Amino acid sequence: MGRTFAIAVNRIRLLIASRRNALLLLLPVLFLAGIDRFAGETVSESKIPIVIADSDESEISQQVVSAIKKNPVLKVLVVGNETEAQELVETQKAAAGFHFPEGMGEELLANEADEIVTVWTTPTVISTAAVQEMVAAEILRPSANSLGAETAVDYAIKAQGKMSKIEQDQLWKEVWEYSDSQWSTKPLMTIQDRVMGSGTVTVPDPNQPRPSPNLYLPGTLAIMMLFAFAWSGWAIQEKNSTITSRLFLTIKPRQYVAGNLIAMLLLQSVLLAGFILYGKQASYWDAEELPKAVATLLIYAFLITAFVFWLAHHVHSMKSWGMITITVLLLSSLFSGTFIPLNEISERLQQIAYFTPQFWASDSMQGSISFPVLAGMAALGLLMAALTTQKAGVQR
């Protein structure tokens, strides 16, 4: 064990022989953060701007505003009064304006949502009709939840004969929460429309999926793989200069492989820490998602490090290593679905994604992959390490 860690420490010292090389670990994080921020700002500027004047200021109206703000295609500005909202639409600083009058929340809970909201639109901006559909759906959401809850309570009273006020409130709350979790947008309109002018409006499908503007996760996975290749090239040079064969006179192949893998994983961890810290600061994952993100990226780092180290023991020249690095990185990133959605390539090529570590890591980060898959990635990394040990033993 002592020799294994001695090998790890020596390898780290060789890989970061100067402070400048150590600082290079942070440059990918800074570069990717800059690119990601730029892309995010560009997408933000392309969102449809709308303005909301909430005169009701009730809990229900605030829930509606909060839900509308979560819509990825809308940029929402909340103002204090109806006049200000109307002026912003008239001056075309907003594509649409909505006024929530006093008592709106009560009317929604009473299921009296008939022309309770006023909207101003301008025909010079596309998609205003689609915006009205999206906003109207969120306005009707509390009303639909309330209707479902009231119906459930009435049915329970008839079935049981009687219910205490506490039981009724509890059932009402449970049905409301369930109904809200099952809500899906429907093209229902209860809005009094005042159009500022005339003209034809092109309406896109509001339910059409839009590509995520986030370049951070695909870039993180690609850069981690790139550094895995960069930190493994020395294995080819040492093998060709007979350094490795001389080392095996004093150490065992498993100590050699384990020590070097630990060294490269520690360096990957430094790089990964930078990605994680920025990702948390940029709210790409919250406190609940952070442990899953850390575990997934650590297992991904172990898998690609073990795979690349195994690959390096089968290559005989640095020129070939450079070509292999570009080919593997480009093809795995291209066909993993991280940079380009899989539905944009042929079905036959989509099957390649299942053989790329980026695909499994990306899906795991998005919560669609179970623990057995992460365990499988770790097991595959161990297999690569074992095969590397066997290869190193043959070369001694």
Q: Which residue has the higher pLDDT, 182 or 84?
A: 84
- Decide which of 195, 228, 247 is a domain's last residue: 195
| pLDDT over 50 at 191, yes or no | no
Whether 51 and 176 map to the same domain: the answer is yes
- Contact between residue 98 and residue 117 where contact means Cβ atoms under 8 Å apart: yes
Top-ranked range on mean pLDDT: pick from 53-57, 128-132, 279-283:
53-57
| pLDDT over 90 at 311, yes or no | yes
d(CA 130, CA 271): 43
d(CA 396, CA 242): 9
Whether 183 and 223 map to the same domain: the answer is no
d(CA 382, CA 376): 10
The CATH number linked to 151 is 3.40.1710
Mean pLDDT of 360-376: 76
Grade residue 190 by pLDDT with cuts at 50, 70 and 90.
very low
Top-ranked range on mean pLDDT: pick from 108-112, 130-134, 174-178, 336-340:
174-178
| pLDDT over 80 at 1, yes or no | no
pLDDT score, position 67:
84
- Decide which of 163, 195, 227 is a domain's last residue: 195
Whether 289 and 358 map to the same domain: the answer is yes
Whether 171 and 220 map to the same domain: the answer is no
Q: Which residue has the higher pLDDT, 350 or 198?
A: 350
* 21-25, 30-34, 39-43, 247-251: segment of lowest average pLDDT: 39-43
pLDDT score, position 213:
34
Whether 163 and 100 map to the same domain: the answer is yes
Grade residue 214 by pLDDT with cuts at 50, 70 and 90.
low
Residue 133 domain-assigned? Answer: yes
Whether 57 and 114 map to the same domain: the answer is yes
- Contact between residue 339 and residue 218 where contact means Cβ atoms under 8 Å apart: yes
pLDDT score, position 207:
43
Whether 320 and 270 map to the same domain: the answer is yes
d(CA 116, CA 105): 10
* 5-19, 29-43, 185-199: segment of lowest average pLDDT: 185-199
Whether 242 and 384 map to the same domain: the answer is yes
Structural domain boundaries enclosing 172: 47-195
Whether 177 and 238 map to the same domain: the answer is no
Whether 247 and 383 map to the same domain: the answer is yes
- Contact between residue 72 and residue 64 where contact means Cβ atoms under 8 Å apart: no
Whether 145 and 271 map to the same domain: the answer is no
Report the DSSP beta bridge partners of residue 121.
96, 195
pLDDT score, position 197:
35
Q: Which residue has the higher pLDDT, 142 or 42?
A: 142
Whether 254 and 332 map to the same domain: the answer is yes
Total length of the chain: 396
Mean pLDDT of 259-268: 90
| pLDDT over 90 at 384, yes or no | yes
| pLDDT over 80 at 199, yes or no | no
Residue 384 domain-assigned? Answer: yes
Residue 178 domain-assigned? Answer: yes
pLDDT score, position 47:
74
Grade residue 303 by pLDDT with cuts at 50, 70 and 90.
very high
pTM of the prediction?
A: 0.57
Residue 15 domain-assigned? Answer: yes
Residue 205 domain-assigned? Answer: no
Residue 270 domain-assigned? Answer: yes
Residue 204 domain-assigned? Answer: no
Q: Which residue has the higher pLDDT, 267 or 277?
A: 267
How many domains does one find in the chain? 2
Mean pLDDT of 120-146: 72
Residue 73 domain-assigned? Answer: yes
| pLDDT over 70 at 124, yes or no | no
d(CA 149, CA 183): 14
Q: Which of 38, 51, 54, 47 is nearest to 73 (CA)?
A: 47
pLDDT score, position 122:
67
Q: Could you give the angle at the alpha carbon of 137 between the alpha carbons of 134 and 140, nearest 5°?
A: 155
Mean pLDDT of 185-197: 39
Q: pLDDT tens across 143-184, in order?
A: 777 878 888 888 888 887 778 888 888 888 888 788 777 765
Q: pLDDT tens across 25-37, in order?
A: 767 767 766 766 6
Phi, psi of 116 (to 5 degrees): -90, -10
Q: What is the DSSP string of 173-224?
A: HHHHHHHHHT--------EEEEESS--------TTS-------HHHHHHHHH
Q: Which of 122, 118, 119 is nearest to 90 (CA)?
A: 122
Top-ranked range on mean pLDDT: pick from 43-47, 178-182, 263-267, 334-338:
263-267
Q: What percent of the chain has pLDDT over 90?
A: 11
* 25-39, 108-122, 320-334: segment of lowest average pLDDT: 25-39
